A and B are shown apart, each in its own frame.
Chain A
C-alpha cells in the first residue's frame, strides 16, 4: 500500500524532467522517500531524482515498492490540476489513483519488469563550476540556431560555452567572478548535444543554480535541487554523454 500527497508543482517538474528523455519510468518508494532513475533509449542522457519523504505532505508506504508509469498518462493527469494544489496518490492494485480537488482519476500501472533500471555510470571529475541557471540557459539559447552541439571550456579564468557552424558562431563567457563556486586548475574542454541540454534547462524550472562537472571529452554531470520546498529539497542529477570529432 502506498499513499502519497505532494504539491502539483513538484510532481509537474519531476514529470517534465523525465519526459525530456523517456516515455515510461519506474519510481521506487521506500521508507526514505521516492526516487527514479531514467536513461533515454540511446543512452545519451540520464536523470536521477531523489524526493525525500519530507518533501511530501503525506507519505506512507508499507515497504519498498515500485511504480511503473507511462509518462504521458501522468502528464494528462497533471494537466487537470491547478499549480497551487496538492495531489493525493494511492497505489491500488494495478492502478494509481489521483485525487485532485474535486476530481478523482486513476491510470493503469505498467509491469515494472518491462522497464530496465539503468545503472548509474561511475562518472567523476574534480573540476566543477556552480553557475546561475539563468546564465547557463542564455548561453544555450545563444547556440540554439547555430549548431546541434556546444563546447564547454572550464579554466581557472572561468567557464565558456561555444558553438559554431560554417558561417556563424556564438560564445558565452562567464568570468570567475560570475561563478558562484568553482574548482579547476587547468583547462578542460568537452562538447555535448545541444538538444538534450535545451530540453533539460526548460524542464528544470525551479532551480536557481547548477553544478556543472566534466573533464576532457567526458560526460557532463549537472547536479541541482528543485527549490519549491527549501526544507526538503528534491535532489537531481543529469548526466550527458559527450560528442567527439571523428
Chain B
C-alpha cells in the first residue's frame, strides 16, 4: 500500500541492535495488517483463542515489542484516527478486494482445498476489538501509544520532528509526510513468503534517511511529495506509465508537479488538497512516558484470557524485566 518510490530511495541494511538506544514511533495499523496477514495457523486461519477471538495481533505485538525492547529500542505505537475523505477511493478499492477474496475463499472451500492461507491472508479487518486488545496489552507492557487525529503514518512521521528518532513502517508515504528516518522490515523480517506465490525471500531490517534521499536525488521535500503523487498514493491514483524514476526526471526538469502535469497534458483530481495533506496533515503534540511492565497483568491477559502458552510467555517476561535493569548505552547522535 502507499506510494512506491522505492526506485529512488537509498536504503541501508541494519539490525535491531544497531538501531538500539533510540525511540521510534510505529505506524500501528501498518504493523497490525502485516501481523494479521502473516501470523497464521498452518491452514491459513488466523490464530484464535478458545472463545474464537483472533489473537494473531496479540501474538505479534507482544513478541515484536519484547524483541524491540530487548534491543534497547523504545517503541511508541501510533493508531489511525478518522481517515481523510481523500482516501475514500483507496478504502473502497480495498473493501472490494476483500469481498473478492471472500468469494474466492468460499469457492476454494467448496473445491476442498486444504491450504487456504493465500485466501485468508487477503481478508484482514482491524476491528475495534483488535484495537482495544492491542492498547490493553501495550498498557500492561508500559509502552505508550497515541491516537492520531487522522492518518497514523502522518502522526508517526510528525513525531520524528519532535521527540522520536524515526518511524517503523513499511510505507514510503512516511517520507512524503516528512519522516526524518524510516525503518522497514522491523516488525517481520527473516524468511518471508512472497504473497500469492509459492516462493520465499529473506528480508532484512533497513533504514532510510530523508535528508539522504533528498540530497542524492537533488530535490526538495515539495518535489518529493510531487514525485509520490505522480506515482500514486493512498489519496490518488497516479499517472499511468509514470514510475518513480520517470517522475523524478520530470520533476527535476519542470521544477514542480503542476508544471509536469501541464507538460504531459494530464490532471490529478484534488491535487491541491492532496499536496497540502502531505505538507500539513492533522497531527497532535504528544508527550509520552514509558513505564515498567506489569508482568502479572500481561500473563493473566495473554494466558488466562487468550490461551497463550504460559511457559513461553514467562520466558519472554523474564527477558523483558531484564531489559529494564543495568545501564543504558547512549548514542552520539543523542547529543547533537
Contacts and interface: CB of A to CB of B under 8 A. Distances in A.
Given A46-B332, A241-B332, A242-B330, 10 more contacts: A41-B18, A42-B17, A44-B330, A113-B10, A116-B12, A116-B212, A121-B332, A149-B327, A218-B335, A241-B330
A76 interface: no
Contacts of B328: 243-246
B272 interface: no
Contacts of A191: 327
A246 B331 contact: no
Contacts of A39: 332
Interface of chain B, main secondary structure: mixed
A18 interface: no
Contacts of A244: 327-328, 330
A45 B330 CA distance: 10
30 contacts: A42-B17, A42-B19, A42-B21, A43-B331, A43-B333, A44-B330, A44-B332, A113-B10, A114-B10, A114-B12, A119-B333, A123-B332, A123-B335, A149-B327, A219-B330, A239-B332, A241-B330, A241-B335, A242-B330, A243-B327, A243-B329, A244-B327, A244-B328, A245-B327, A245-B328, A246-B324, A246-B325, A246-B326, A246-B327, A246-B328
B209 A116 contact: yes
Interface residues of B, number: 25
Given A243-B327, A246-B324, A246-B327, A121 B15 contact: no
Interface size class of A (residues with CB under 8 A): 20 to 34
B336 interface: yes
B96 to A, nearest CB: 41
B34 interface: no
A122 interface: yes
Interface string B307-330: 000000000000000001111111
Contacts of B332: 39, 43-46, 121, 123, 219, 239-241
Interface string B1-21: 000000000101011011111
Interface in A198-246: 218-219, 239-246
A33 interface: no
A52 interface: no
B127 interface: no
A122 B336 CA distance: 6
A79 B80 CA distance: 57
A29 B329 CA distance: 34
Contacts of B324: 246
A158 interface: no
Contacts of B212: 116
Nearest to B21: A42
B291 to A, nearest CB: 13
Contacts of B15: 41
Contacts of A193: 329
Contacts of A245: 327-328
A43 B21 CA distance: 9
Interface of A: 39, 41-46, 113-114, 116, 119, 121-123, 149, 191, 193, 218-219, 239-246
B216 to A, nearest CB: 6
A119 B334 CA distance: 12
A44 B333 CA distance: 8
Contacts of B216: 113
Contacts of A123: 332, 335
Nearest to A42: B18
A114 B11 CA distance: 9
The 6 closest A-B pairs by CB, nearest first: A41-B18, A43-B331, A243-B327, A241-B330, A241-B332, A42-B18
B160 to A, nearest CB: 16
| Most chain A beta-carbon neighbours within 10 Å: one of B15, B17, B336 | B336
B336 A44 contact: no
A121 B334 CA distance: 9
A207 to B, nearest CB: 22
Nearest to A39: B332
A226 B329 CA distance: 29
Contacts of B12: 114, 116
Contacts of A42: 17-21, 329, 331
Contacts of A122: 335-336
Contacts of A116: 12, 209, 212
Nearest to A120: B332
A241 B331 contact: yes
Nearest to B331: A43
Contacts of A44: 329-332
Contact of A241 (B17, B209, B329): B329
A239 B18 CA distance: 17
Interface string B77-120: 00000000000000000000000000000000000000000000
